[in-house]
Structures are given as C-alpha cells and as structure tokens.
A and B are shown apart, each in its own frame.
Chain A
C-alpha cells in the first residue's frame, strides 16, 4: 500500500527535504466508509500517492478525536497531517494538492481554468447535491418542484460533460472529485432506496460516461465502498434521509 518513495528509514525529519519531511509526518483520514465526502478526501490522497491511515468513525457515537479536531462541524472527513487538522472535503482536496508534490495536479495551473474548476466543484456541491436530496426524499408537489430543479441542474452538468472527458481535462480534477462519485455511485443506491429515478442513460449519456470513466480509475476503485454495503446503510437510515430533506426545504 505504501509506495517505495515513502518508505523512509530515517525518523529524524530535520535531515530530510521539505517534501520528504512532509511525507514522513503521519497522514490520517478520519471518516466513515459510507460517506461520499470522505471518499473525496480518500481519492485525493490516493491520486497524489500519499499513504495514510484510515480511522473509521462511528457517526452515531462520535469519538473524542473527531470532536477535538472538528469542533465546529463535528463531521467527517477530517484530515490529520502531523498535528494539523484540515476539515471540509473540498478544502481537504485543495490542501492535498498543495501540500504533496506527487501525482498529477488536481487543479490546473492557469488561474482562469482554476476558477472554472472551482466553479463546477461548487456547483456540484451546492446546487446538484442540495437539489437532489429533496428530489429523492420528499413527496407530492414539494417533490415535483425539487425534481424539476434537480433535473435542471443535472442538465447543466450534462452539457458541460459533452465537451470534456473530465472537468479536469484528461485527468481527474477537483470538480470530478466533487461530483463523479456522488452522481456515479451513491445516487444509484439512493435512487433504489428512495424508489425514485433522477438520472437516466437516455437523458444523461455524457454524465454516465464521465462517471464510468471516473469509477474505472484505480485510485478511485481503492476507496469506493461496496454497493451492497451502501444499500444496507442507506436503507437503515431512510427516515433520517427524509427528515434531512425536509429541513432543506425553503421555509
């Protein structure tokens, strides 16, 4: 699991180069394997070739470690790099890209392209996810309205993906990490548990193609939870999904 370049025998970090010293500092990821947000952080670490210890968190009984390192949100993922804690999945992805030199860059070099990548990552997070959740878990007129909005947002993503392999170009980048796992893997499970269809091969061919390419990536496969496990998990917390959806509706 640990790449050869990171198997350091020397424990005195003062004599190492900056990168080696950083790599020698322990990297830990606190998370739950059912979370698409934790998946984002794990994918970033794997794409950059950063070895890490995964600390499984029981979200129904939060640990002292989690509460100490994410007192503000008390959520996963939390990345621990040495004694430094980084919270919020997309902040973690940018941190991993900047702190570690290995692997391909997760954001492009050109500032305008970077702004575009951040725009779509934010869109996938803020608009897609936030409209999908009520579309899946509410009912009647409320659901119809949420579904309309969700489909409009997905159509915008579909349009973008007609022109590109990944948002990041030829390789997986920030926006892909933000959305492909969610839309390609988690949504299928949620649709099954909710009994509601949002995505289709007919209406979202580019999105399907993008998700499939993302899911075929080796680094992604290594940290993708098993579908049956997710099905079991979300079936068990169905009521919670419904109440979260209700709380997201405009008042």
Chain B
C-alpha cells in the first residue's frame, strides 16, 4: 500500500505518446512525480541502467525501483495506488479482459505502421504504412462501442484504461492527419471515436498533459525528412 513517502520519477521524452500514457495515468491518480527529459540520441546512464533490456522510455522509478513498458507501468500505477484517485481498470474480470484486448490492439496493430510511417525511407513505404494505419484504426469504432456501452468514454462514465491507452496518442492522431492531408479518425466512418477524441481533448487532463499539436507536426516532419535523407546517403 502506497503512503505519503513514495518517490516517483518518470524518465521520458516529450514527443513520445508512450510517455504521455504514463503521465495521463499519474495525473488521473493525482500523483506527484519528478520528470526527467531524456535525449534519445544520447541516452543517459540512468536510462541505460534502469531499462537495460530495451533502453527505451518511458521508465517509471518508484522509490528507486524501475518499471518499464508503458502499459505495464499504467497497470502498476493502478495496482499500487489502488486507494488513490479513480481506478483505471474495471473491477470485473471480463471487462478487464476487454480493456486489455483493446489496449493491446492499439500497440500491436496501430503502433507498427505508425512507426514505419515516420521511419520510412521511401515514399512507397510511407504510403503503404499510411494506408495500413488508416485501415487499422477503423476497428477502434467497434472497440469504443464495446467498451463504452453507450457512455462517453471507453471506461464508461469516466476515463478508464483504454481512454489512457488511446488518449496519449491524440496529439499524434491530429498531427498525422495534418501531415497526411486526411483525417485519421474519419468522422463519417468513425463517428463515435471522433466524438470521443473531441471530448477527451477538452478535458483538463488532456490540456495539462498532451503535447502541443503544432510541435508534434513539426517533430513528425523532421523525422520523415531525416529518414528520407538517410536513405539517399
């Protein structure tokens, strides 16, 4: 059981939606933490010693002990700080399984083409990744229906695990839409999800934690230019 003496440190990078995911969870739980911005081009000893396996952000340090992988960190926060603030995962085992399914979908199906899109060395690869990403997001409309059961959020009346798992990507959804010249969440195909994104974006939580969309657009442009340039060297 967590007491007032908990020391929380988050090692992250401003653009990373996975870091944002953890920030959202910490914010929802009302937890104070120290934030350390990492230069991923020059990884610190702290990061390398706390995440020797993946050498990636985010890493959460709780009283000096590291926890890695954003979804694992969010579940950890939910479990350790069970008495603090709202619960992220529902109590019912089946609803938990449904939440975990959709959270896994986001990382297994959306993240790879999204990542390829920004790392693409050729227009062809970028276009294929873009197409795949646009196709894979469509299933989320059904996911929203299944999880929300007619309410405002994946978590029902209030924010839950899947809202956090997807909500961390909202600035990148908007940035990608700008860069693609087409809405990633097509309002005609995904009306519920589009409405959810608007609603999520209006929350104090989102305003406090999500990246500025223009900054994300610029960062995205920079990544694409950098990777295309590498290809021609």
Q: Does A195 contact B (CB under 8 A)?
A: no
Q: Does A115 contact B (CB under 8 A)?
A: yes
**Residue with the highest number of chain A CB atoms closer than 10 Å, among B68, B73, B94, B104:** B94
Contact B76 A99 (CB under 8 A): no
Closest to B77 in A: A111
Chain A residues within an 8 Å CB radius of B62: 112
Chain A residues within an 8 Å CB radius of B143: 72
Contact B116 A251 (CB under 8 A): yes
Chain A residues within an 8 Å CB radius of B104: 88, 90-91
Chain B's interface size range is: 20 to 34
**Residue with the highest number of chain B CB atoms closer than 10 Å, among A86, A87, A156, A251:** A251
- With contact pairs A86-B101, A111-B79, A123-B53 given, residues A98 and B96 touching in the complex (Cβ less than 8 Å): yes
Chain B residues within an 8 Å CB radius of A251: 116, 120, 125, 128
Q: A119 vs B67: C-alpha distance in the bound complex, in angstroms?
A: 9
Contact A112 B76 (CB under 8 A): yes
Instruction: Tell me whether chain B's interface is mostly helix, strand or loop, or mixed.
Output: helix
Q: Does B203 contact A (CB under 8 A)?
A: no
Q: A86 vs B96: C-alpha distance in the bound complex, in angstroms?
A: 10
- Among B65, B72, B93, B116, contact of A119 (Cβ-Cβ < 8 Å): B72
Contact A95 B65 (CB under 8 A): no
Contact B94 A122 (CB under 8 A): no
Within 8 A of A (CB), among B76-115: 76, 79-80, 93-94, 96-98, 100-101, 104-105
| Chain B nearest CB, measured from A103 CB (Å) | 15
Contact B94 A99 (CB under 8 A): yes
Q: Does B75 contact A (CB under 8 A)?
A: yes
Tally chain A residues at the interface, Cβ within 8 Å: 24
Chain B residues within an 8 Å CB radius of A95: 93-94, 96-97
Contact A119 B68 (CB under 8 A): yes
Chain B residues within an 8 Å CB radius of A99: 93-94
Closest to A117 in B: B72
Q: Does B69 contact A (CB under 8 A)?
A: yes
**Residue with the highest number of chain A CB atoms closer than 10 Å, among B69, B139, B142:** B69
What 1/0 mask marks residues of chain A from 138 to 153 whose CB sits below 8 Å from any chain B CB?
0000000000000000
| Chain A nearest CB, measured from B95 CB (Å) | 10
| Chain A nearest CB, measured from B217 CB (Å) | 24
Q: A200 vs B101: C-alpha distance in the bound complex, in angstroms?
A: 35
Chain B residues within an 8 Å CB radius of A92: 97
What 1/0 mask marks residues of chain A from 54 to 92 whose CB sits below 8 Å from any chain B CB?
000000000000000001100000000100101110111
Contact B105 A115 (CB under 8 A): no
| Chain B nearest CB, measured from A17 CB (Å) | 16
Contact B69 A119 (CB under 8 A): yes
Q: Does A114 contact B (CB under 8 A)?
A: yes
- With contact pairs A72-B142, A91-B97, A91-B104 given, residues A122 and B116 touching in the complex (Cβ less than 8 Å): no
Q: A196 vs B80: C-alpha distance in the bound complex, in angstroms?
A: 44
Q: A102 vs B98: C-alpha distance in the bound complex, in angstroms?
A: 22
| Chain B nearest CB, measured from A155 CB (Å) | 11
| Chain A nearest CB, measured from B32 CB (Å) | 19
- Among B68, B79, B96, B98, contact of A114 (Cβ-Cβ < 8 Å): B79
Closest to B68 in A: A119
What 1/0 mask marks residues of chain A from 91 to 107 whose CB sits below 8 Å from any chain B CB?
11011001100000000
Q: A89 vs B229: C-alpha distance in the bound complex, in angstroms?
A: 41
Chain B residues within an 8 Å CB radius of A122: 69, 72
Closest to B52 in A: A156
Chain A residues within an 8 Å CB radius of B101: 86-88, 91
Chain B residues within an 8 Å CB radius of A156: 53
Q: Which residues of A contact B (CB under 8 A)?
A: 71-72, 81, 84, 86-88, 90-92, 94-95, 98-99, 111-112, 114-115, 118-119, 122-123, 156, 251
Q: 13 pairs across A/B with beta carbons < 8 Å?
A: A72-B142, A86-B98, A87-B101, A88-B100, A88-B104, A91-B97, A114-B75, A115-B72, A118-B69, A119-B69, A119-B72, A122-B72, A123-B53
User: Given A72-B143, A95-B94, list of 7 further CB < 8 A pairs?
Assistant: A86-B94, A90-B104, A91-B100, A111-B79, A115-B76, A122-B72, A251-B128
Q: Which residues of B contact A (CB under 8 A)?
A: 53, 62, 65, 67-69, 72-73, 75-76, 79-80, 93-94, 96-98, 100-101, 104-105, 116, 120, 125, 128, 139, 142-143
Closest 4 CB pairs of A and B: A98-B93, A111-B79, A95-B97, A99-B93
